[in-house]
Structure 1
Amino acid sequence: MADNFKFSIIVSNLSGYKDSIDSIISQELDFRQNVQLIILKDNNNITLDIDEYITKYPNNILVLENKDNLNSRNFALRHASGEFINFMKAGDTFDKSCLKTVSDLFNNNTEINLVSIALFDPIYKNIIYKTPLSDERLIDINTVNNKEFNYYFHLPIYASFIRGPDYYFEDKSIDENGISVTSKILIDDNKFGFIKDIFCYHKTESEFSENINYSNVMGKLKLLYDLIQYADDNLNKNPEFLQHIIAKELEYIVKIEDLDQISTDLNKLNEFWNLMDTVLKNVSKKAIKSNNFLDNFVISFLLFIKNKSFAIDCSQHKVFFKTENYSMLNLHNQKLYFDVIEIKKGILNLSGYLKSICYSDNITVEALLKDKNDDVKYYKGKFVEYPTTNRKTVNFLSNPWIFSYNFDFKIPLNEKKIGKISFRTLYHENSEYVIWNNKISPRKYSNLSKFSHYLVKDDMLVLLKDNSIYSMSLNAKSKYKFDLRAIFQILKERPQYYRGGIFYRTLMMLLYPFWKNRKIWMFMDRPDFADDNGEHLFKYALNQKDDVDKYYVLDKNASDFKRLSKSFKNVIAFGSFKHKLLFLFSQKIITSQPAVSLYNPFFSKNITMFAGFYPNVYFLQHGVTKDNVSSWLHKFNRNLSLISTTSDLEKKSFLDVGYNYDEDIIQTLGFTRYDNLNGENTKKQIVIMPTWRNYIKNEDDLKNSEYFKRWNSLINNNEFIEYAGKKGYEIIFKPHPNLYKFIDLFDKNDHVIIDYVKKYQEIFNESALLITDYSSIFFDFAYIKKPLIFYQYANDYHFDSENGYFNYESMGFGEVIKNEEDIVNKIKYYLDNDCVMEDLYRKRVDDFFKYTDRNNCMRTYEWIYKN
Structure 2
Amino acid sequence: LLERILAFIDDDIIFEQKSLNLHRKYFLIKLKYRNEKNVFKKIFLNRNVNLYFKEKLINSMRYEAITMELLSIEKGILTLEGNFGSLFDAAELEVKACVNDKIYHAEKIDRTVHNLYCLNKPVKEYLGFKVDIPVGELANNSNIEMMISSNGKLIKVKINFGRLFPLDKHIVDFYTKNGIGIYFDHKLNNLVVLKDKNQIIRAKEKRAQRRFKTFNKIGAEKASNVRKIMEHLYKIKKNKRVWLFMDRINKADDNAEALFEYAMQQNDGIKKYFIISKDSPDYNRLKKIGPVVAYGSPKHKFLHLLADEIISSHADDYVVNPFVNMRKYYKDLFKFNFVFLQHGITKDDISGWLNKYKKNIRLFITAAQPEYESIINGHYNYSKREVILTGFPRFDKLVNHNHKKILIMPTWRNHLVGKINPQTGKRDYSPLFKNSVYFNELNNLLNDAKLINEANEKGYEIVFFPHPNIVQQLKDFNKNSSVRIADINESYRDHFNNSAILVTDYSSVAFDFAYLKKPVFYFQYEKNHLEKGYFDYNSMGFGEVIADKDALVDKLINCMENDCIMDAKYIDRVNQFYKYTDKENCKRVYQQIISLGTNIKEGIKK
Could you state the TM-score of these two structures normalised by the residue count of structure 2? Answer: 0.90
Alignment partner, residue 789 of structure 1: 521
Partner secondary structure for residue 511 of structure 2: helix
Given that 1:335 and 1:441 are in contact with CA atoms closer than 8 Å, whether structure 2 keeps it comes out as yes
Equivalent position of 2:167 in the other structure: 448
**Cα shift at 1:483:** 4.7
Q: In 2, Cα distance between the equivalents of 1:498 and 1:398?
A: 43
Aligned to 1:771: 503
Asked if 1:462 is matched to 2:182, the reply is yes
Among 219, 225, 249, the residue aligned to 1:497: 219
Could you tell me how far apart the structure 2 residues matched to 1:521 and 1:693 are? 33
Does the residue aligned with 1:632 lie in a helix, a strand or coil?
Answer: helix
Residue 584 (1) aligns with residue 305 (2): yes
Q: Indicate yes or no: 2:292 matched with 1:562.
A: no
How far apart, in 1, do the equivalents of 2:553 and 2:64 lie?
Answer: 60
Show the counterpart of 1:820.
549
Secondary structure of 1:603 counterpart: coil
SS in 1 for 2:236: helix
Shift of 1:304: 5.8
Aligned equivalent of 1:686: 406
Look up the match of 2:449: 718
In 2, the alpha carbon distance for the partners of 1:525 and 1:483 equals 37
Q: For residues 397-450 of structure 1, what are the alpha-carbon distances to aligned partners after superposition, in whole Å with 9 as ceiling and x for unaligned?
A: 67753221111223332398534322210112xxxx221111111112212223
Coordinate RMSD, CA, aligned: 2.2
Q: Among 805, 809, 817, which residue is 2:534 paired with?
A: 805
CA shift in 2, pair 1:825/1:479, >3 Å = farther
Q: CA deviation at 1:474?
A: 6.9
- 2:153 maps to 1:434: yes
Alignment of 1:225-264 (within 5 A): none
Tell me the residue number matched to 1:739.
470
Where has structure 1 moved over 6 Å in runs of 4 or more?
Answer: 305-308
Give the letter for the 1:310 counterpart: F
State the shift of 1:738 in Å.
0.2
Question: Contact (CA 8 Å) 1:385, 1:392: kept in 2 or not?
Answer: no
The change in CA–CA distance for 1:461 and 1:351 in structure 2 (over 3 A counts) is same
2:381 to 655, 660, 678: 660
Instruction: Give the secondary-structure state (helix, strand or coil) at the position aligned to 1:414.
Output: helix
Q: 1:322 to 1:299 in 2, by over 3 A?
A: same
Map Cα deviations across residues 461-508 of structure 1 (whole Å, 9 max, x no partner): 333334333344473662464155235314325244212211111111
Sort the Cα spacing of 1:774 and 1:616 in 2 relative to 1 into closer, same or farther, 3 A: same
2:274 and 2:291 in contact (8 A); partners too: yes
For 1:513, the equivalent position in structure 2 comes to 235
How far is 1:784 from its partner?
Answer: 1.1
**1:421·1:470 contact (CA, 8 Å) conserved in 2?**
yes
Equivalent residue, structure 2, for 1:605: 326
* C-alpha spacing 1:672/1:400, structure 2 compared with 1 (3 Å): closer
Q: Find the aligned partners of 2:165 and 2:234 in 1 and give their Cα distance.
A: 22
Quick one: distance in 1 between partners of 2:56 and 2:588?
61
When residues 568 and 475 of structure 1 are mapped into structure 2, their CA distance, relative to the original with a 3 A threshold, is farther
The residue number in structure 2 matching 1:150 is none
Q: For 1:479-558, what aligned pairs fall within 5 Å after superposition?
A: 479=201, 481-483=203-205, 485-558=207-280
* Cα 1:469–1:778 shift into 2, 3 Å: same
Kindly report which structure 2 residues correspond to 1:75-154, keeping only aligned pairs within 5 A, or say none.
none
After superposition, give the CA deviation of every residue in 1:533-558 in whole Å (9 maximum; x if it has no partner): 01111111111111211111112222
Instruction: Give the direction of change, closer, same or farther, for the CA distance of 1:865–1:709 in structure 2 (3 Å limit).
Output: same
Q: Distance in 1 between matches of 2:212 and 2:484?
A: 53
Q: Is the 8 A contact 1:356 1:403 kept in 2?
A: yes
Structure-1 residue corresponding to 2:423: none
Please name the residue that 2:603 is paired with. Answer: none
* CA distance, structure 2, for counterparts of residue 408 and residue 701 of structure 1: 45
How far has the Cα of 1:703 moved from its partner?
1.2
Alpha-carbon deviation of 1:568?
Answer: 4.2
* Cα distance between partner residues in 2 of 1:732 and 1:352: 48
Aligned-partner Cα distance in 2 for 1:745–1:399 = 41
Equivalent residue, structure 2, for 1:295: 21
CA contact (8 A) 1:530 1:554 kept: yes
Deviations 1:654-712 (A, max 9, x none): 11241111221111111000111111x32111110000111113323311111111111
1:761 aligns with 2:477: no
The correspondence for 2:581, drawn from 852, 859, 864, is 852
1:306 CA displacement:
7.3
CA offset digits 1:790-847 (Å, max 9, x no partner): 11111142x222xx22111111111111110111111011100111111111111111
Letter in 2 for 1:833: N
- Cα distance between partner residues in 1 of 2:202 and 2:285: 41
How far off is 1:277 after superposition? 3.1
Match of 1:379 among 104, 108, 112: 104
Provide closer, same or farther for how the CA distance between residues 628 and 301 of structure 1 changes in structure 2, counting only shifts above 3 A.
closer
Q: 2:54 aligns with which of 324, 339, 353?
A: 324
Q: 1:863 to 1:734 in 2, by over 3 A?
A: same
CA distance in 2, matches of 1:342, 1:559: 39
Distance 1:312 1:415 in 2: 36
SS state at 1:662 partner: coil
Evaluate the alpha carbon distance shift between residue 725 and residue 400 of structure 1 in structure 2; reply closer, same or farther with a 3 A threshold: closer
Q: Distance in 2 between matches of 1:399 and 1:807?
A: 28
| 1:788 partner letter | V
Any conservation in 2 of the 1:358–1:403 contact (CA below 8 Å)?
Answer: no
Provide TM-score, normalisation by structure 1.
0.64
User: 1:122-201 residue pairs with structure 2 within 5 A?
Assistant: none
Alpha-carbon distance between aligned partners in 2 of 1:519 and 1:476, rounded to the nearest angstrom:
26
Q: Percent identity?
A: 33
Determine the C-alpha separation between the residues in 1 that align with 2:549 and 2:209: 62
2:71 aligned partner: 341
Distance 1:509 1:415 in 2: 30
Counterparts of 2:454 and 2:575 in 1: how far apart (Å)?
A: 32
Quick one: distance in 2 between partners of 1:500 and 1:706?
48
Aligned length: 576
1:723 alignment partner, SS class: helix
Q: Counterpart of 1:815 in structure 2: which amino acid?
A: E
Q: Which residue of 590, 593, 601 maps to 1:864?
A: 593
User: Using the alignment, how far apart are the partners of 2:416 and 2:202 within structure 1?
Assistant: 49
Deviation of 1:348 (Å): 2.2
**Residues 1:422 and 2:142 aligned together:** no
Partner residue in 1 for 2:440: 709
Report matched runs for 1:838-849 at 5 Å: 838-849=567-578
Cα distance, 1:339 vs structure 2: 1.3
CA distance in 2, matches of 1:849, 1:747: 38
CA distance in 2, matches of 1:474, 1:531: 47
CA deviations 1:583-617 (Å, max 9, x no partner) are 11111111111222211111112444433424110
Contact 1:461 1:471 in 2 (8 A): yes
Q: Which runs of 5+ in 1 are unaligned?
A: 1-268
Give, in angstroms, the shift of residue 516 of structure 1: 3.3
Q: Tell me, yes or no, if the aligned pair for 1:487 and 1:506 is still in contact at 8 Å.
A: no
Counterpart position of 1:279 = 9
* Aligned partner of residue 279 in structure 1, secondary structure: coil
2 CA distance for matches of 1:582 and 1:330?
46
- In 2 relative to 1, CA 487–521 (structure 1 residues): closer, same or farther, beyond 3 Å? farther
- Measured after TM superposition, the shift of residue 459 of structure 1 is 3.2
Cα separation, 2, equivalents of 1:474 and 1:556:
45
Cα distance in 1 for residues equivalent to 2:137 and 2:163: 27
Shift of 1:648: 1.9
